[in-house]
Structure formats: structure tokens, C-alpha cells
Structure 1
């Protein structure tokens, strides 16, 4: 067995598990979390109906902010190369943090589960020292308002869903690495992972940062979390609560989410059972809000209850290419 700690390149076990992967067989975090939110979305996706990609002004603005805050250098690589190399880069970063006790970040890096056909691009993977290395997932959201009418952070059910799926992917990666490496540090990181939403004003124009500056801002934002509450959220199935801790900085509202409650975990298990194990769909319709339909690639197939006609007067573009992915330098 070759130890990751002594390897300059990804060990053969990582390369082998991802060799020849077909990305079209994988479900993205976006598809999983949308299926967790809406039973109609899950029904269309499970039947292989192609989703239409939607472009909105809000999405374009958010993408520009994400690009300015992407501090990890990357090169194009095949999906199998990116999957193996990025998993290995995460493992190396955990070991570096254990040795130096100084935080590090990886931004906008794709990860593939070695055991389930799901992949995702977490906005930020922040590894810091908390008695040992701790992996924190951070998803960045831009909102017109950072605080809702309830006086709590402007969070939605699918924010928690998205983080739950991302955590499952990275947990799969770290557990697999622990098995081939024999170092319990990776399984401990998988168990101790936590999740955050970083809220920013939609009209903000952040400064481009170095990785060091970005890491310092992340450290400051997390250390400023001081408020504790529960946030009521809803989706097309039901209403439920999530635990949230939060704190305001000059630029962001940083929120630590309890993305592991029973509603979220059971929904994830149900959705992955339908999509990955071909289990039956239990519920065939739901009621989405107008704002949710605005971003949905299946909304043109659903009737708006109040109007009784298809919704979908949005600009549509073709599917993006899945022939290459980004690998950490």
C-alpha cells in the first residue's frame, strides 16, 4: 500500500477508482439539491428528461463575484485526472494544516465521489486547525438583502440541501482516502466537517484577493460568529427548521448551518435512492414559488397553478461541455 503522505502524485488507488469515469453518468450537486427541493424536478430528472439551462441577471452577477474570489490556480484536465488529483490535493492540504496549524483554502475545485455517482464544485473548502485539522465547506450566496423579515439571515432550504450534498461528496472522498492510506486523520475530518453560507450583497464588487488574504478574511468571518437561532425554511414538500449561527463583518454575513437534521438527511437518502438505485418516486407533484420557478430548467414543463399554463419565458442556452474539468496546479 502506498501512503499518500509520501506521494508526489495521486496514489494508484485514487487513479484506479476514477479511471474511465463518464461524467454524464454522474449527478451534480445542483441536480441533487433541486431534486431534494421539488418532487416534480426529481420525477423529470429520474426519467432522463433534459433540463434547460437558464441564464438570469442574478446568476450572471453572482458568477462575476465568484470569479473574483476564486484564489486557487487550476489547469484543464480530463474528468478522471481532475477527480484523482483534486482528491489528493485535499488530502495533502489536510496534512499541511496538521503540520503547520495554519489555515488553507481551495476554491471552485471539482470533487467526485469515489463510491457514488455525484460530483460538485464547492465554492470554498477551508481547512483550519481546531485541535486538529477541520474541514469547513463554504457556499457563497448573493442576496438583495442579507436579513429576512424574521430578522434572521436570508437563507433557504436549498442552501442547506446544497451543503449537505457537498459534505457527502467530500466525506466519501476522505473516507476512501482513509481506507487506502491508513491515516485516521482523514476519517476524523470526514466526521467533523461543518458547513457555512457566506451571504454577500448582490451589488457588491469585491476586491480580487490573494489566497493568503482570502484565508485571513475567512478566518476573521468565522471567528465573528456569535448569534445562535433556528431558521424556518420551506420547500415543495414541507416546512422545517434548521439551526443557524451567524455573525456580521464589514463585507459578509457568515452563517454556520446545521445541514444534518433528519429532514435533510432523509430527503438526501430518498433522492439518491431514486436517482442512483432506481427506486420509485413517491410523490409526483409539488408547489414551487414563482422565484424558484425563475431558476428551474424544468419550469416550462410545469403548469403555474394560478394560470394553468406552462411557465418559461427565460433565455435558454445549451448544455455545457463535460469533456474537461479543472485540476489544482
Structure 2
């Protein structure tokens, strides 16, 4: 850092425009491969950088932070969810953490609706038949799915993404129900025509589709467990574009195998890339590789937020998207 610029280490390949701008502004070390950093590579990065730019695939926990050098002062996370970062320990060590909230709200909400439609209208089954060249023509009873208009959608977590899902669901003619730690302010609730349930269990027994849109925290781990899955109707569908750990995946697989629920659309998984093989075997399950925020526009906007957070910090000010422990 002979030129006085901040030393920044980026853990994954980012959009080219973002990498170029980082290189212009800072003494940046970029990845030449898109593979995640190993534990040793992360340790080396935190040992001598001023700023670390990790992604959700990097585990920035207490033991890793204990290996941080005195220069590390900011973890500018490329992503909104920071459950992979021990924010409290970072703060204790004098390291600020920032994230990129709000950028992918519409993208994730779009994907929620895509998964909802894919499961209820059996799109993967139709796609498979076409790709195999096995279609024998239209038939009155072939590939019958269910109409979503008139169905009750239950949203778990009514933050920005939950509200964006609600707006889309209303346009499709669905009735919106939700469970959240606190109800929305009356004008927002009225605009969304949403019904609040202070009991998650009560909502589950009354809905046709469950959309999970809450973060992963200790209090939401396995929130959808075997007991709660049993409260759903046999015709109900579960969609998750939030965090895989919110669902007890084995309990979900068992319910699907037994026909206790009608289907599931999952973009996230309890154990990262280790997808439960029992889920793969179910024809009424749609699995995607964490694509909810994967738009070119969203990825660029995430990069712009990272840049702004680092630049503001470099100028001696509080990063605009600083994450505060206990407010997660």
C-alpha cells in the first residue's frame, strides 16, 4: 500500500465492471479463478488486508477473525445476508461489517413467483418431456396443474422481499397472509391487502402456498420443522428463496415422499451445495442452484454498493450499509 490506497482482497470473481472500478480506486487483489477461497487463503487475506470483500460462500467466523491482522478494519460483504459472518466478533475486534441490502428484492421476488408457478403448473415435467422428444400431443388430462388465482399465499417474513412477493401474488389473484415478528404498519398492510397472523402455526393450517422470505438466525433455524409441516394441507406447496436452514430438509423430504404436501420449490438448501438426494427424487420438487438474485443488473448494483461502502469508509465515514450486531 505504498501509494496510500486501501488494500482490498476480493474472495470471488465479480462482474468485470465492478472489478475494474475496484482496481482504479484501491490496491486490490482479485481472484483469477471463480473457485471459493480455501480456509488458508481466507486466513492469509484477513492477515494483511485493510478490507475483505467476501461472499456468502465464505465462512467468516470467530476462529478466522482471530487470525486477522491489525490492518483489517472493514468486511464489505458482497450480498445482503450476512449469516456467514460473525458480526458480533468482528465488531469486538474493531472490524466493521457492511452488506448490500435491497438490491435484489425484485429479482428474488420474481424467482419466488417463478418457483411457485413451476411447481403448481408442473413446468419441469413438461420441459423434460419436450427435451426427451417424448411429447405425443395435447390431451385433456395431460400435465394438469392447479390454478393459483384464489389460493392463499402465506409469507413467512414480511420485509422488503416478502412485500415484493405479496405485490406480485396479488396481481396473480392470490390472497396474501403473512407471519412476521411484528405486523406491518396499517397503510402498508392495507395496500398489500395482507392478513397478519401472530401465530405461524395458525397461518400454516390455512394456506395453500408457503413462501419463506425470512433471514436465517438462531430463532429461525428449522422454523419449518416436522410438526409444522404436518399443519399444512396435503395440497399445499412450499417455496423457499431465502435461506435453506429455515427448513428441516429431512422432514420436508419425508412429507413429500408420503404425499403429506403437494410439492416444493427450493432455491436454497440447508447444507449449501449438498442437496438432500431424497429431494432430487421427487417429481413434484423444483430445485434451483441459488439463482434468486442472479440477474446482471442485480450483481452490478451489489458491486456498486460494495464500492460505495469501501469508498465511504476510506473517506473516514461510516459505511452507509453498516451491519449492526443485534439488529439482524
Task: Specify the TM-score bucket, using the shorter chain as the normaliser.
Answer: under 0.3
Which structure has the highest helix share of the two?
1
Q: Which has the larger radius of gyration?
A: 2
TM-score (norm 2): 0.25
TM-score (norm 1): 0.25
Which structure has the highest strand share of the two?
1
